[in-house]
């Protein structure tokens, strides 16, 4: 391969560390075996402004495909903020300025001082950050999700059956006392087979049931009515029952029902 040498003139304060950082980026873009030295910076006419010659001696290889180069740059510290800085419109861009004024006071929408602008016919699209809550996205923590199930299950009927009332009281107790275990159920280790639990209601009546079946029944009740559990949360709750139902049935036998059945 042919060897090439070239000089890059850099405005601003540059030192060996910055030169090496620049080299790393060049190497990531296909420049192989690069070496650099930084000459003594010479003062320009404006005080404090420096000019440096960055001498690069390198051998050029075939540039890596973008799909390969970008992950490598990310591995070496490239951030999304770096990309925004590279592609953002100049400071004071009228489209960015206008959008910032339009969303002023909106806590759910943020526009950076410098943002990416994509011109389009008659205007432009401007990069912005829009808040989406866990509930809206159907991505609540397990305990928070089951609390939503409980609230909607109780609100959807004024006269619950004794059985559903017992299920709801049990679920409330479970969320209150074992929220951390629910949230970390993926990593909980169980050593026994799934089995039924026994819940004693306020009247002293015992109820024996599978925890997963009781939870599934509450999910179905919670989705009823105009103000029922949203489709997103219903789907998340159904997935929780399918994915962790057996584990929940086994886990509760070991650290929950013994205390209740004494």
- Can you name the residues that pair with 125 across neighbouring β-strands? 118
pLDDT for res 92: 92
pTM reported for the whole predicted model: 0.54
Domains of the chain: 3-78 (3.30.70), 85-130 (no CATH), 137-260 (no CATH)
- Please state, as a whole number, how many other Cβ atoms lie within 10 Å of the Cβ of residue 209: 18
DSSP state of 24: H
Instruction: Give residue-wise pLDDT tens across range 36-48.
Output: 444 433 333 333 3
CA-closest candidate to residue 80, choices 112, 103, 125: 112
Please tell me the distance from the alpha carbon of residue 66 to that of residue 74, in angstroms, as a whole number: 12
pLDDT of residue 253: 83
The values of phi and psi at residue 128, to 5°, are -145, 160
Please state the length of the chain: 262
Q: What is the pLDDT of residues 136-172, one digit of tens each?
A: 776 789 999 999 999 999 987 777 899 999 999 999 9
Determine the Cα–Cα distance for residues 187 and 103; give it in Å rounded to an integer: 42
């Amino acid at each position: 391969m042919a060897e090439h040498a070239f000089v890059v003139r850099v405005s601003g304060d540059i030192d060996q560390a910055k030169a090496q950082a620049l080299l790393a980026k060049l190497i990531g873009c296909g420049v192989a075996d690069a070496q650099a030295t930084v000459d003594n910076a010479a003062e320009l006419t404006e005080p404090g402004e420096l000019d440096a010659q960055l001498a690069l001696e390198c051998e050029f290889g075939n540039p890596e495909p973008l799909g390969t180069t970008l992950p490598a740059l990310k591995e070496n510290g490239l951030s999304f903020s770096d990309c925004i800085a590279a592609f953002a419109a100049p400071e004071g861009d009228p489209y960015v300025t206008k959008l910032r004024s339009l969303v002023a006071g909106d806590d759910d929408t943020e526009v950076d001082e410098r943002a990416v602008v994509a011109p389009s016919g008659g205007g432009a699209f401007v990069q912005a950050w829009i808040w989406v809550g866990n509930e809206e996205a159907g991505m609540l923590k397990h305990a928070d999700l089951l609390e939503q199930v409980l609230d909607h299950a109780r609100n959807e009927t004024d006269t619950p059956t004794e059985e559903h009332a017992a299920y709801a009281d049990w679920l409330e107790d479970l969320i209150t006392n074992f929220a951390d275990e629910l949230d970390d159920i993926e990593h909980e280790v169980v050593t026994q087979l799934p089995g039924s639990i026994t819940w004693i209601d306020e009247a002293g009546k015992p109820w024996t049931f599978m925890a997963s079946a009781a939870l599934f029944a509450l999910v179905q009740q919670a989705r009823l009515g105009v103000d029922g559990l949203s489709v997103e949360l219903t789907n998340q709750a159904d997935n929780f029952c399918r994915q962790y139902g057996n584990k929940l049935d086994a886990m509760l036998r070991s650290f929950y029902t013994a205390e209740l059945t004494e």
